[in-house]
Each structure stands twice: as C-alpha cells, then as structure tokens.
Amino acid sequence: MEDNPIETYREFIIEVFNRYSPISEASISLLISMGKIQHLDKGSILLSIGETSRHIHILYQGAIVSYYLNKEGDMYHKNIFLEGNIVGSMVSALKNKPSHFALEVVEKSTLISFDYRKYRELIDSQSDLKNFYISYLEKNWVIDKEKREVEIVLKEAKERYLDFITLHPNIEARIPLQFIASHLGITPTQLSRIRKKIKEKSSNQHM
C-alpha cells in the first residue's frame, strides 16, 4: 500500500460519511490518520476468493465488481461499486474468515483504505461513527437490498436495464456487460437481446 497525502481527500471523506449521518471533524481526523491511498490498475484483484479480508475501502474514483465462482468456475456476480461506495468483503473481515467472493478492479481505481479492525474499533469508540455505522447498515444492507429484490420481482428486465443506464450514464463503457447482466438478474444473452431491441427501435424512430 502506497503512502499518499490523504489530506487531499478530506472533503471527499467528509461527504461520504455525512451522507449517512453527521460526523465530527475530530472523527474525520481520526479516520484520516489511519487511512491509506491506493491506486489500482484495471484488472487488479483487490481481494481473491479464499483470502481473508483485512481492509475496508472507500472508492474515490474507478469501478470495482464483486463475484462468486461456483464449483464449475461459472461466475456469479454480486455487486458493482462506483465512486463514493464503501467496498469490501464485510463478512470476511467481520468473521476473520476467507472471503466467498472476489473484488476485481474493472476501471482504474483510487481507493481510500482502512485497516478493518482499527476502523471497527474506532466506530465502537466514537458515538457519531456508531450512528454513521447504523445508518450505513440500514441504508446499504436493509433498504437498498430490499429495493433490488423488489425491482427483480416487480419490474421487467428491460425496465430494470433502462433504469440502470439512466441512473448511471456511460456505465456500459465502464463495466463489462456480463457484470451488468447479472447485476440486473438476467443472463448476458437476455441483456444482448434487450439492448438490440432498444437499438432497433431507436434507429427506426430516427429514420
């Protein structure tokens, strides 16, 4: 891990934490004192399957995906992480056990990385960070997970795809389509068909 002047990222770190709950300047300084900056190239593996996670990261720039592999080596996608997202294998870090999934850099990334144990101890010791952590768990692990479940049940695949590319313009240039497909709960073939139909429709409209 490279030692970079993390102070440059202070405003960004404040913004990420304050999205969840108000954080004191003192807590931000404590976080900054234990953070490190990492620059990772496209194709880098931030965490391998079977490796025990010792860190948690904030993605400053770039894109990272997580995926499982089944016994046959088929890839099952889990998540897409973009700027401002908190990235890690939380279960592995929490339980100090090998991660079930990998984290792969799919676009050159800059990360602010924290030692997980120290980060968790800091949360336990600072009441504002404890409130941030509760809000983070509720938002990212309860509310957002249900939103995704509901969308898979209630929306057609095409609608989910259109919502996704509207929310994240230019995403198709950044994330390989196989990850976008499984993020939407469909196969890459289904995604190709949806994209083709939309293209045909839009070129007909422009004739």
Decide: is 76 part of the binding site for its own copies (CB under 8 A).
yes
- Using DSSP, state whether 115 is helix, strand or coil: strand
Q: Does 141 bind its own copies (CB under 8 A)?
A: yes
Q: Would you count residue 121 as binding its own copies (CB under 8 A)?
A: no
Establish if 117 lies at the interface with its own copies (CB under 8 A).
no
Q: How far apart are CA 153 and CA 157, in angstroms?
A: 10
- Closest approach, Cβ 154 to its own copies, in A, equals 6
| Beta bridge pairs of residue 111 | 38, 59
Residue ranges in 150-169 that form contacts with its own copies under rule CB under 8 A: 150, 153-154
In DSSP terms, which residues pair with 65 in a beta bridge? 80, 104
134 part of the interface to its own copies, by CB under 8 A: yes
Q: Cβ of residue 124: shortest distance to its own copies, in angstroms? A: 8
- Indicate whether 187 belongs to the interface with its own copies (CB under 8 A): no
Q: Does 78 bind its own copies (CB under 8 A)?
A: yes
Q: Determine which residue in the list 5, 25, 71, 207 makes contact with its own copies, applying CB under 8 A.
A: 71
Site membership for its own copies, residue 137 (CB under 8 A): yes
Examine residue 48 and tell whether it contacts its own copies (CB under 8 A): no
Q: Which is nearer to its own copies, 36 or 155 (CB)?
A: 155
Q: Residue 109 has which token pair?
A: 């990334």
User: Quick one: which H or E segment has residue 59?
Assistant: strand 55-69
Closest separation in Å from C-beta 74 to its own copies: 9
Q: Is 64 exposed, middle or buried (0-12, 13-18, 19+ CB in 10 A)?
A: buried
Task: Report in angstroms how near the CB of residue 127 gets to its own copies at its nearest.
Answer: 8
Name, in order, each residue with C-beta under 8 angstroms of 62's C-beta and a sequence gap of 6 or more.
40, 83, 105, 107, 108, 109, 110, 111
Which tokens in the block code for residue 162? Answer: 């259109």
81 binds its own copies (CB under 8 A): no
Task: Tell me phi and psi for residue 97, to 5 degrees.
Answer: -130, 160
If one asks whether residue 10 binds its own copies (CB under 8 A), the answer comes out as: no
**String of DSSP letters for 142-169:** IIHHHHHHHHHHHS-HHHHHHHHHHHST
The site for its own copies (CB under 8 A) is made up of: 68, 70-71, 76, 78, 90-91, 94-95, 100, 130, 133-134, 137-138, 141-143, 145-146, 149-150, 153-154
